Amino acid sequence: MTGKYASDPEWASIEPIPLNDGSDSGALPLATIAYTDDYIEATSYLRAVMAANEMSDRALKLTEDIISMNPAHYTVWIYRAKILFALKKDLKEEFEWLNRVSLKYLKNYQIWQHREVIVSCRDQFPTLPDRELDFLMEMFAQDSKNYHVWKYRHWLVRHFKLWDLPREIEDVEALLKADVRNNSAWNHRFVLRFGPRGDDEPDAGMPNGGAMGADKGRLAVADEDVIDAELQYAQAKILLAPENRSPWSYARGVLRAAGRPLSEWKDFASKFVTEKKKHDAEDGEDEIEVEVKSSHAVEWLADVLAEQVSGSETDKSEAVKMLTLLKEKYDPIRKNYWDYRIKMLDSFAVPYGVSASA
């Protein structure tokens, strides 16, 4: 080989281990890639230092080179972390490098896993690293719904107990101001407001996430002021874009966390679904026409009515009316689903909120 490692005296002591794709043992390699010479050489040296379990500066530099060509290499990241700890490296420098790599490979998953491993070192990062939240906002400027970055941010909130740090909710509000349809930001808001906080609590997505049935998603103790404020916040955002599903879902989650029924919003949802008299010029008769300002409000009403179906026939016919509006006019893509919901009215009441006795 005549590549940069073969010609570098620093690497003279290493005998590279070439790729063994099995061709010598009767294998016909699958998913072969036209590797560049640089990648072939660098990975040969990586195998050699890994086989020797070498913890050195040159190996650390080599991992950088590999990551620049293949950031999804799953053992090179573990190896890199091990070297950093073995050589007691300053992890702040690692951070600077990571930021550059993260901005280059936006879709990569291992980078964020590695960041978590690094920031987990309590002795070097006893508190939230400086500018960490600024960097995450820089990432969100590239893609405000980046799943890996949000996952990391959730971890950060739990690790450093940031639920009530003003900056957290400010960032969420800024992102929702920029795009009220950003469901990732809505989800993070839910984590900040209702995510489990105790060290002994299971790491659950909803309050009481490990529980089943009616208790699932329900807070042990609900702060009614927080609940009311969040419901108002969701309403204000719904007015900006009534067809945006995110705040409607958020409100369901909030009510569920509080153990309050969906019917609490029946009045609010009804305001989006109004009946109007319309004069038909042809037959001269007045007709009742339903005017809809949000299909999600119609769905909400259908759910409330469905929960009450065991009660009265009027509720049932009203529920059918709502579901038919969705099926025929406002959400025909899901016509089969709305039919399924109509059929279910006859079989059993499905608890779409928390009020039912599941």
Partner 1 sequence: MADFQAERHVKYFLRCLKTFLPSVYTPNDSNRMLLAYLCVSGLDLLGVLESKTTLEERKGYINWVYHCQLPSGGFRAFTGTDFGVENRTADNAGWDPANVPATFFALVLLLILGDDLARVKRTECLRWLPRVQRQDGSFGEVLGPQGEIGGGRDLRFCCFAAGTRYILRGTRGDIDTDIPDINVDRLASFIQACQTYDGGLSDTPLGEAHSGLTYCGIGALTFLYRTHSDQSHPIPKLLSPGTPEFESLVRWLVSRQTSELGEEESDDDEEEDEDENDETHALRLNIQGLTLDDKIFGLHALEPCRSIQWAGFNGRCNKLADTCYSFWNMATLLMLDRLALVDVELNRRYLLEKTQHIVGGFGKGVGETPDPLHSYFGMVSLAFQGEAGLQNTDPALCISSRAVERLQSLEWW
180 binds partner 1 (CB under 8 A): yes
Contact 309, 349 (CB under 8 A): yes
182 interacts with partner 1 by CB under 8 A: yes
Q: Which of residues 240-279 bind partner 1 (CB under 8 A)?
A: 240-246, 249-250, 252-253, 256-257, 268, 271-272
Site for partner 1 in 336-355 (CB under 8 A): 336-337, 340, 348, 350-352
* Buried/exposed code over 206-232 (b: 16+ C-beta within 10 A; e: otherwise): bbbeeeeebebbbbeebeeeebeebbe
Q: Which tokens hold the place of 106?
A: 């936006």
CA–CA separation, 351 and 358 (whole Å) = 7
- Taking the complex as a whole, the smallest distance from the CB of residue 282 to partner 1 amounts, in Å, to 20
Size of site (CB under 8 A) for partner 1: 107
CB 248 within 8 A of CB 300: yes
Q: Please count the other Cβ atoms lying within 10 Å of the Cβ belonging to residue 109.
A: 14
Specify the residue, 25 or 126, whose C-beta has the smaller distance to partner 1: 25
Instruction: Select from 28, 221, 281, 288 the one that contacts partner 1 (CB under 8 A).
Output: 28
Tokens matching residue 103? 């901005």
Q: Report, in Å, the least distance between residue 107 CB and partner 1.
A: 9
Specify the residue, 32 or 284, whose C-beta has the smaller distance to partner 1.
32
Stretch that binds partner 1, among 6-14, 165-173, 223-231, 237-245 (CB under 8 A): 237-245
In this structure, the chain runs to a length of 358
70-108 CB burial, b ≥16 within 10 A, e <16: ebebeebbebbbebbeeeeeebeebbeebbebbeeeeeb
Is 163 a binding residue for partner 1 by CB under 8 A? The answer is: no
Nearer to partner 1, 125 or 155 (CB): 155
Report the residue number, 12 or 51, with the smaller CB distance to partner 1: 51
> Restricting to residues 289-308, which ones interact with partner 1 according to CB under 8 A?
291-295
- Exactly one of 1, 27, 106, 229 binds partner 1 (CB under 8 A); which one? 27
Q: Are 309 and 292 in contact (CB under 8 A)?
A: no
Q: Which stretch binds partner 1 (CB under 8 A): 12-20, 56-64, 93-101, 124-132?
A: 12-20
Q: Which is nearer to partner 1, 284 or 346 (CB)?
A: 346
Instruction: Report CA dihedral (81, 160, 125, 105) to the nearest 10 degrees.
Output: 40
Window of 6-14, 161-169, 209-217, 278-286 that interacts with partner 1 by CB under 8 A? 209-217
Q: What are phi and psi of 143, to 5 degrees?
A: -155, 105
CB of 291 to partner 1, least distance (A): 5
Query: Whose structure tokens read 């003279």?
Result: 12
Q: Which is nearer to partner 1, 178 or 314 (CB)?
A: 178
State which of positions 50-109 bind partner 1 (CB under 8 A).
50-53, 69-75, 78-79, 82, 105, 109
In the complex, what is the shortest distance from the CB of residue 311 to partner 1, in angstroms, rounded to a whole number?
19
Report if residue 165 touches partner 1, rule: CB under 8 A: no
Minimal distance, residue 189 CB to partner 1, in Å: 11
- Cα dist from 173 to 186, 246, 247, 253, whole Å: 9, 14, 13, 18
**Does 288 participate in binding partner 1 (rule CB under 8 A)?**
no
- Give me the least distance between CB of 154 and partner 1, in Å please: 5
Positive or negative, the CA dihedral 285, 288, 293, 294 is negative
Q: In the block, which residue shows the tokens 């990648």?
A: 39
> In angstroms, what is the minimal distance from the CB of 82 to partner 1?
7
Assigned token pair, 170: 């400010």
Q: Which of 239, 286, 317, 343 binds partner 1 (CB under 8 A)?
A: 239
Query: What is the distance between the alpha carbons of residues 353 and 241, in angstroms, rounded to a whole number?
Result: 23
